Amino acid sequence: MNDSNCQCAALQFYCTAGNGMEPFLIQEVKTKLAAKDVDHIPGKVFFTTSSEIKQVRELKSAERLFLLLKRHSPLLAHTPKTPSGIQSRLMGDGSDWTRAVLSWRSLQRDLMMRSDCTLSVALPGRKRKMEEEEEKDSGVEGSTFNGPYGTQKLGLEGKRREFGLSKDTSSTEDSGSVSCVSGDKVEEDSIEGSRDRKTSTVSFRVSCRCSGALSRRFSPQDLSRIIGTAVSRQLGWRVDLRKPDLEVNVYMSDDHCVLGIPLLRLPLANRSYMKTTGLRSTIAWAMASLSDIKPGSCVIDPMCGVGTILLEAAHEYQDVFFLGLDIDESQLVKASQNVEFAKFGDRVQLLQASSKEIPLPSCSVDVVVCDVPFGKKFGTKTDMAASLPVIVREMERVLRVGGTLVLLLSPQLSCLLKKSMTPRPVPSHTQGEGTGVGLGGDVDPSLTPSLFPSLQPLSYHRVSLGAIDALIHKYVKILTATTTLSGPDCIHTLNPCIVDPE
């Protein structure tokens, strides 16, 4: 790596996260970025890290990435509800702002040094110029490499692009205090030649989101104007609503006040390696992260669609074999294109098959991960509810003892599945369908055992998919009286089920 020796000063960031994704993001920043001071409010995770920005931008469970400018306790607690009150509170002595713009600038340089064709960096006015630069340097990009004898060198291509980007090696420093910038590593990109680097001529725009009492007093536009005026008056920055150098995002509610500068134009959730998306990539990644995937694992998705979950997992975990099954040929065509686009043909294979009859031996797979269709695909919700037990039974069968099952379910299917796993007394209430009405007519006074005795629930997670919520269920397959190594569950076993000692 060309600049992995850069020891960056610790910076404060925050990421937005979908509802329910905060715990995954918290875990991710701690694991991947050795983040400190990790904190969160609904929808946002704050953290401090000295990892390089190119690593920070690789976060998989986050929506957007921001540099933290400042964070307050709610404004109205201490401040009169006047524009000047708001201004003086948010501006302070201006040092937070000045410091932030210097960090931001240094991060922009670091981001520009890494050429990535589809994820452009933040500057709205500069996007076109930057894309031209990137295209010049990335003659080795993707699809031209897919001849029959084309080598698939995923990691190497990224490196090649980094070295290919032309760099002006004369190092320059910003004027003013450089406490957050590792000075001798700051390199000037050739496109920036004409830009004045003094902070006083930064152009900016404020975008506000507010809720609660403050929002009843001021509209978002009012607040943007109030803050913008204070910034240009106190710091001399220039307001530019059309093509600003940077944007200041302000979020104010009854409970929180957060100011930040977005670092990338596109959300992190937009993956450069996905051609056609199905499930939101952040959720797909979260499911993979729950699945206990290890080197040497065999992972299947019995209803893979366009392959989103498998591709997120393949990007994250090495030395793993992924098999995607789907009943629908048109989905498999797109999945195949996705696999080719991401260059994972050596690790991700596809199969046209039904999740109700998985053509694999019992106890042969380490992980089953699946976004279970919510009902539209199967005709009606009732159909899906009726098919679910058969589908889960197949998943249970192919899993080896100790293997992990992770499912994404609609709230109704989640409820249905939980009920079918809980031994319960059943006077008039067997497994319900979407409406909660009992299925069979039998009035059975005794306990109904779990339909899936060898699946032990481990955890549930509620996540938002935007308009609706969904539940992630995680199970482990355990050894039971009926799940012996050579019992009826394993009629097609070829190799003995290896109970993983780990």
Query: Which candidate, 16, 63, 54, places its Cα nearest to that of 33?
Result: 54
Residue 296 is a binding residue for other proteins (CB under 8 A): yes
Nearer Cβ to other proteins, position 336 or 430? 336
Interface pick for other proteins out of 79, 308, 364, 420 (rule CB under 8 A): 364
| Residues 91-129 as b or e (16 or more Cβ within 10 Å = b) | beeeebbbbbbbbbbbbbbbbbbbbbeebbbbbeebeee
Token pair belonging to 466: 């935007």
Nearer Cβ to other proteins, position 87 or 355? 355
Mark 210-239 with x for binding to other proteins (rule: CB under 8 A) and - for no binding.
------------------------------
Interface pick for other proteins out of 78, 129, 209, 356 (rule CB under 8 A): 356
Query: Which candidate, 112, 485, 447, places its Cα nearest to that of 265?
Result: 112
Q: How far is CA 194 from CA 45, 125, 174, 191, in A?
A: 36, 14, 14, 8
Residue 496 is a binding residue for other proteins (CB under 8 A): no
Asked whether 180 and 98 are in contact (CB, 8 A), the reply is no
Q: Name the phi and psi angles at 228, rounded to 5.
A: -60, -45
Token pair belonging to 309: 């979950």
Nearer Cβ to other proteins, position 124 or 345? 345
* 241: exposed, middle or buried (Cβ count in 10 Å: 0-12, 13-18, 19+): exposed
The percent helix, strand, coil of the chain (3-state, each to 5) is: 35, 25, 40
- Beta-carbon neighbour count of residue 150 at 10 Å? 12
Residue 273 is a binding residue for other proteins (CB under 8 A): no
Mark 152-171 with x for binding to other proteins (rule: CB under 8 A) and - for no binding.
xx------------------
Mark 416-455 with x for binding to other proteins (rule: CB under 8 A) and - for no binding.
----------------------------------------
Interface pick for other proteins out of 10, 439, 447, 491 (rule CB under 8 A): 491
State the nearest-atom distance from the C-beta of 339 to other proteins, in Å. 10
Number of residues written out for the chain:
502
State the nearest-atom distance from the C-beta of 31 to other proteins, in Å. 21
Q: Give CA–CA dist 88/86, Å, rounded.
A: 6
DSSP 443: -
Nearer Cβ to other proteins, position 302 or 375? 302
Residue 357 is a binding residue for other proteins (CB under 8 A): yes
State the nearest-atom distance from the C-beta of 346 to other proteins, in Å. 5
Nearer Cβ to other proteins, position 184 or 319? 319
Residue 495 is a binding residue for other proteins (CB under 8 A): yes
Per CB under 8 A, which region of 48-56, 255-263, 316-324, 448-456 contacts other proteins? Answer: 316-324
Residue 276 is a binding residue for other proteins (CB under 8 A): no
Residue 393 is a binding residue for other proteins (CB under 8 A): no
Handedness of CA 353, 403, 29, 75 (dihedral sign): positive
Per CB under 8 A, which region of 178-186, 256-264, 340-348, 458-466 contacts other proteins? Answer: 340-348
Residue 62 is a binding residue for other proteins (CB under 8 A): no
Per CB under 8 A, which region of 79-87, 124-132, 180-188, 486-494 contacts other proteins? Answer: 486-494
User: Per CB under 8 A, which of residues 320..339 are in contact with other proteins?
Assistant: 321, 323, 327, 332, 336
Nearer Cβ to other proteins, position 62 or 325? 325
Q: How far is CA 385 from CA 191, 312, 390, 449, in A?
A: 57, 28, 10, 19
Q: Residue 197, Cα to own-chain centre: how many angstroms?
A: 34
State the nearest-atom distance from the C-beta of 338 to other proteins, in Å. 13
Residue 486 is a binding residue for other proteins (CB under 8 A): no
Nearer Cβ to other proteins, position 96 or 157? 157
DSSP 436: -
Which residue bears the tokens 């190497």?
Answer: 156
Residue 161: which residues within 8 A CB-CB, separation 6 or more?
Answer: 114, 115, 116, 137, 138, 140, 141
Asked whether 285 and 61 are in contact (CB, 8 A), the reply is yes
Residue 354 is a binding residue for other proteins (CB under 8 A): yes
State the nearest-atom distance from the C-beta of 319 to other proteins, in Å. 5
Using CB under 8 A as the binding criterion, the count of chain residues that bind other proteins stands at: 37
State the nearest-atom distance from the C-beta of 228 to other proteins, in Å. 52
- Beta-carbon neighbour count of residue 370 at 10 Å? 23
Per CB under 8 A, which region of 116-124, 454-462, 482-490, 491-499 contacts other proteins? Answer: 491-499
Q: Interior CA angle at 345 toward 343 and 346, to 5°? A: 110
Residue 149 is a binding residue for other proteins (CB under 8 A): yes
State the nearest-atom distance from the C-beta of 296 to other proteins, in Å. 3
State the nearest-atom distance from the C-beta of 260 to other proteins, in Å. 40
Residue 15: which residues within 8 A CB-CB, separation 6 or more?
Answer: 25, 29, 44, 45, 59, 62, 63, 64, 65, 66, 268
Give the interface with other proteins as residue ranges (CB under 8 A).
148-153, 295-296, 298, 318-319, 321, 323, 327, 332, 336, 345-347, 349-354, 356-361, 364, 491-492, 494-495, 498
